[in-house]
């Protein structure tokens, strides 16, 4: 149980650090850009989406490795064991869409629940960031 907790905490820690760094770097970059303010917002949206996609891939790789390792459980349903199926499952979980065509069993369930919670928090963080950036640049041109 300690190992499951430690691995889950490690994966979430990596994802949160990645998200922080993406938002921090774009915050530093935006004022220095020599482009129209509205394009800064569009750039911010693309950076946030890129961060989310990278985070989904981190979770997907974790699911893939856990699925292939003994003792972590497995994914079943409309699932053939490929990395891309893990990415699909991860996107579905991260966004809390939860289509239900792939089901986690065993200790994978803990990371699945934590990914949903983490995705909710990080998507909200991105929305707050983009709102603040829009209020900063929206009426300038």
Give pLDDT tens digits for 77-107. Answer: 999 999 999 999 999 999 999 888 999 999 9
- Residue 71: is it exposed, middle or buried by C-beta count within 10 angstroms (0-12/13-18/19+)? exposed
Number of structural domains in the chain: 1
CATH of the domain at 77: 1.10.287.70
pLDDT over 60 (residue 50): yes
Mean pLDDT of 34-38: 84
pTM of the prediction? 0.93
Angle of helix 37-68 relative to helix 83-94, nearest 10 degrees, comes to 120
Can you give 99-137 as a three-state secondary structure string? CCCEEEECCHHHHHHHHHHHHHHHHHHHHHHHHHHHHHH
Q: How far apart are CA 61 and CA 106, in angstroms?
A: 17
How distant, in Å, are the alpha carbons of 2, 52, 85, 106, 130 from that of 48? 33, 6, 23, 32, 9
End-to-end Cα spacing for the chain: 55
Range of the domain at 17: 2-137
Residues above pLDDT 70, as percent of the chain: 96
* Structure confidence by residue, pLDDT tens digits, 12-35: 999 999 999 999 999 999 889 888
């Amino acid at each position: 149980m300690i190992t499951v907790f430690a691995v889950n905490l490690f994966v979430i820690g990596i994802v949160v650090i990645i998200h922080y760094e993406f938002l921090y770097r774009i915050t530093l970059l935006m004022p220095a850009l020599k482009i129209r303010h509205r394009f800064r917002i569009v750039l911010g949206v693309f950076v946030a989406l890129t961060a989310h996609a990278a985070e989904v891939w981190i979770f997907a790789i974790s699911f893939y490795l856990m699925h292939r390792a003994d003792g972590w459980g497995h994914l079943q349903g409309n699932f053939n064991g490929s990395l891309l199926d893990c990415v699909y499952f991860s996107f579905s979980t991260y966004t809390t869409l939860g289509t239900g065509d792939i089901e986690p069993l065993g200790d994978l369930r803990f990371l699945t629940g934590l990914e949903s919670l983490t995705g909710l928090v990080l998507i909200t963080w991105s929305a707050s960031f983009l709102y603040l950036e829009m209020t900063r640049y929206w009426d300038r041109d």
